[in-house]
Structure 1
Amino acid sequence: MQESRRPFLTKQNVLFFFTDDQRFDTIAALGHPEIQTPNMDKLARRGTSFTQAHIPGGTVGAVCMPSRAMLHTGRSLFRLEADGASIPDHHTLLGELLQQAGYRTFGIGKWHNGPASYNRSFSDGDEIFFGGMSDHWNVPACRYDPGGAYAQVNRRIDNPFHQNTISLQRADHVQLGKHSSELFSERAARWLEEEAAAADGSPFFMYISYLAPHDPRSMPEEYLQMYDPAKLSLPDNCCAEHPFDYGVRDIRDETLAPYPRSEQEIRRHLAEYYAMITHLDHELGNVLDALERSGQADQTLIVLAGDNGLAVGQHGLMGKQSAYEHSVRVPLILAGPGIPAGETRDTYAYLYDIYPTLCELLGLQTPDSVEGTSLAPALGDPAWRAREHLYFAYADCVRAVKDKRYKLIEYRTDELRRTQLFDLIADSAECHDLYGTAGTEEVVKALSRHLLACKEAWDDEAHPAGGRFWRLYA
């Protein structure tokens, strides 16, 4: 047994970067051969990357709303309220707990879980966006209001393929203001330089929630010029359309590219997606530089995570409303004092494990309302495992489970009964459906048992979406 190196970072600062629609494999240092992410690469070299971090999926099309509620409450998907649109008082928020422990909490950027829960989480903040998405150059941001009265609301981005609308998905944008990644990062850098070091020595929790790389994918032109669509490689699982319609074909995310998806169109989307991430990476680097100038870097635990993945052409899909790896796996990096440098961990993790992990690292008691599992033991023991199976869901039409090798996906609608089975070791891109092939019968039976066990353990059937799915599954 390897000697434990588990760190305890009591009263350390926490700087949390949260990205929007960033897939797990979009960091160069973690294996992407074409994307440019020098600052995220530095974080990976400084810290420990959890390469099997996931979300459980989502109960609504706006997958990021429950995902963010899970992050901040440490609760599992079907034990949220209102699908995460609001958070009840009896669910202790991460920022709320840290305030009780003497932290100054400062929030910047996107908040998708209601103004009341924002003010419970943060004692201060700025450039706050309440909603799911916005034109990056015209974010209706709010100043912090101690009374919780916020007038700005999300602006709707219309479908660019509808008539009489302007295509904000294209990168040939008109720069009408300051880009969201710059807006949020500049405010964070100013706070770090001016206010991070408190006179009384109290630690801080800064949460920076970006809108990038969520569409509309627009960014400064210089970043788009870094990627030639014609030279970008396409994943093996890219195709013109998903092989069957399970109820997402006409949702907003899937209308970002016309059917059938052409290789030219997917390459354009990939170039814009990568350019958004590279621009975001640059702005994230500016915040890290400000942290260094503040003199607080040696006392700060840094977290980088994403709210969900994104298909961008894989399996003929554009969005994140599926149980495929590209949609449910996310980046997760911890860096800072006591965190092993330049290492990876492959334990199965959910985003809602971050809450109890921070509690353990900071020496805080995890609230009873939190359901996640602390990942801190993995920092000292690479062989440690949080769990052996993962459970996934999308709305009332998809349920899935995976173990260390296989993934079983079940689809149910009024018109469809479909099952897929993938060998994730031999076929990491989930190209070859093995369901119904000789020799897989026992694998399917075992995973089906786990699927039913997860339904019970997660209280899935009690949720309206789960209730409908399981009626159709029977």
Structure 2
Amino acid sequence: MIQKMFAVLVLLVATSTYAADRPNVLFIAVDDLRPELGCYGKQHIHSPNIDRLAKSGILFERAYCMVPTCGASRASLLTGIRPARKRFISYLTIAEQDAPGITTFNTHFKMNGYNTVSLGKVFHNVKDNAEGWTEPVWRPKGVPWYQRPENHELHEKRQKQGSRKRGPAWESADVEDNAYADGLIAERAIVDLKRLKAKKEPFLLAVGFLKPHLPFIAPKKYWDLYDHETIQLPVNYQVPKDAPKESIHTSGELRAYAGIPPKGPVSDETARNLIHGYYACVSYTDAQIGKLLSELERLGLSDNTIVVLWGDHGWNLGEHTLWCKHSCYETSMQIPLIVKAPGIEGSQRRSNLVESIDLYPTLCELTGLPLPQHLQGSSLVALMKDQDATWKSAAVGRFKNGDTIRTDEFRFTEYTDKNGNRTSQMLYHHDSDPDENVNVVKGHKGSIKNLSENLHRLMGRDGEIQSTEKLDAKM
């Protein structure tokens, strides 16, 4: 018994010594952030801090989520496995229930000597994989959604009428950043960076910011960055030609907010307010990210810290008449992704198609941790080092009864009923129609056959994954 205890102690000491030489990880998640940012070529957006990170890291121009809803998307990314018809379905997804026995990202790092800390929204459910963090998950408590008294009172009144009834969809209040939750999350992250540095052990600090999730509430100074009169509605503010009815939803998430009609289109002025509010929230969260990056530099941690910035899914700002996410269109599936790593030259871009489940194996390789056998993504490290590295040629995902695949040329989606029988398809030719305005499914039979076969190979015809096969570069 004594010999066994001594052996365990030696192993723990060795692991601790080995871990001490590994880089830290600052893992930044942003809710509902679409790649409409300065560093993605959208110069109307004020995102100087995310742009700063892009200049020191690798920016992935075409990264995609697995499921365009928060709980399911995060569960897939943090387990490293793909969604299925009965796994990772809704925003309420709990990873440890949908994927029992799977070692999650945070747990794997904790088991390998990392201090793992979660602030804000990382997993959707605060109790999900709680044992994978070295201390209790922290989220701000008691912070009112709204700072304007009339908005707070309206919200409280509507909440008494039902949990799905909320206050206004936007707010501009002349307050400091820490009047809202994301400002408090940034402050806590700065404190924890100092504390974790003092431990002299490698850390994984996961920081999840809430905005630009609805409601679009941000301090007035961020609203003032944008001229309301210049904000335009999207050019494709209509349903795509010949789009399947399954592809268009009613923007139900938005309907809970005061001033939003229960059905049908919103007014043009409401649409502009929503877009303005979304932009303001992006700039607000960008400012909080900037505080973390500056503190990392001030503490002398930048050279030995991997920084990852990712959005959990895209968001629609009126495109195809849609608001929120919850669709298989490009606007719902595409995410921003930036990775900065010691020893890898920054200020580079990659146009390859990557998936959010690629992050788990990437961070394992960057930190020298073993790769769990269950992972279905592919490490991005070779691609980060060499833009000509061999890489997969498609990204797949799904939402409810739709399975979707993105290639260089096309986005193809197939909808099925509860028995797995096909009900409709849509195909968008991105070379000629990048905004996905015309469904050309009737004109590309050969391409559809190939796309459908590859989609089924990964997702399975019944919606279940057939194996842990990785998507290869053969299409």
TM-score class, shorter: 0.7 to 0.9
Alpha-carbon spacing, 1:459–1:344, altered in 2? closer, same or farther (3 Å): farther
Q: TM-score normalized by structure 1?
A: 0.80
Over the matched positions of the two proteins, sequence identity in percent amounts to 26
Compute the displacement of 1:395 (Å).
0.7
- Which residue number in structure 2 is paired with residue 286 of structure 1? 291
- Which residue number in structure 2 is paired with residue 85 of structure 1? 94
Which amino acid in 2 is paired with 1:445? K
Deviations 1:256-300 (A, max 9, x none): 654224433322211100100101011111111111222212111
Asked if the contact 2:73/2:88 (under 8 Å) is kept, the reply is: no
Pick the aligned partner of 2:463 from 455, 460, 464.
460
- Which residue number in structure 1 is paired with residue 40 of structure 2? 30
Asked if the contact 2:172/2:219 (under 8 Å) is kept, the reply is: no
After alignment, is 249-258 or 269-278 more displaced? 249-258
- Which residue number in structure 2 is paired with residue 6 of structure 1? none
Q: Distance in 2 between matches of 1:37 and 1:157?
A: 35
Which amino acid in 2 is paired with 1:195? L
Compute the displacement of 1:137 (Å).
5.1
Q: Distance in 1 between matches of 2:410 and 2:164?
A: 46
Which amino acid in 2 is paired with 1:450? N
- Which residue number in structure 1 is paired with residue 407 of structure 2? 403
Q: Distance in 2 between matches of 1:107 and 1:366?
A: 22
Alignment: residue pair count: 425
Pair 1:55-2:84 in alignment: no
Pick the aligned partner of 2:426 from 412, 420, 431.
420
Deviations 1:362-421 (A, max 9, x none): 11101122221111110122022432222221112x22223220122234569x943322
Alpha-carbon spacing, 1:197–1:298, altered in 2? closer, same or farther (3 Å): farther
Q: Distance in 2 between matches of 1:163 and 1:403?
A: 40
Alpha-carbon spacing, 1:455–1:367, altered in 2? closer, same or farther (3 Å): closer
Q: Distance in 2 between matches of 1:302 and 1:127?
A: 20
Pair 1:76-2:77 in alignment: no
Deviations 1:111-143 (A, max 9, x none): 44544434222112553279xxx96459xxxxx
Alpha-carbon spacing, 1:320–1:135, altered in 2? closer, same or farther (3 Å): farther
Q: Distance in 2 between matches of 1:376 and 1:89?
A: 28
Asked if the contact 1:15/1:207 (under 8 Å) is kept, the reply is: yes
Asked if the contact 1:110/1:129 (under 8 Å) is kept, the reply is: no
Alpha-carbon spacing, 1:23–1:161, altered in 2? closer, same or farther (3 Å): farther
Q: Distance in 1 between matches of 2:203 and 2:250?
A: 43
Q: Distance in 2 between matches of 1:54 and 1:336?
A: 20
Pick the aligned partner of 2:438 from 432, 438, 444.
432
- Which residue number in structure 1 is paired with residue 6 of structure 2? none
In structure 2, list runs of 5 or more residues that go unmatched: 1-19, 148-154, 467-475
Q: Distance in 2 between matches of 1:42 and 1:234?
A: 28
Compute the displacement of 1:100 (Å).
1.8
- Which residue number in structure 2 is paired with residue 19 of structure 1? 30
Asked if the contact 2:71/2:88 (under 8 Å) is kept, the reply is: no
Asked if the contact 1:159/1:252 (under 8 Å) is kept, the reply is: no
Q: TM-score normalized by structure 2?
A: 0.80
- Which residue number in structure 2 is paired with residue 168 of structure 1? 168
Q: Distance in 1 between matches of 2:376 and 2:213?
A: 28
Structural mapping, 1:221-240, within 5 Å: 221-239=220-238
Q: Distance in 2 between matches of 1:399 and 1:159?
A: 35
Report the 3-state secondary structure (helix = DSSP H, G, I; strand = E; otherwise coil) of the residue aligned with 1:315: helix
- Which residue number in structure 1 is paired with residue 134 of structure 2? 123
After alignment, is 15-24 or 287-296 more displaced? 287-296
In structure 1, list runs of 5 or more residues that go unmatched: 1-8, 139-154, 464-474
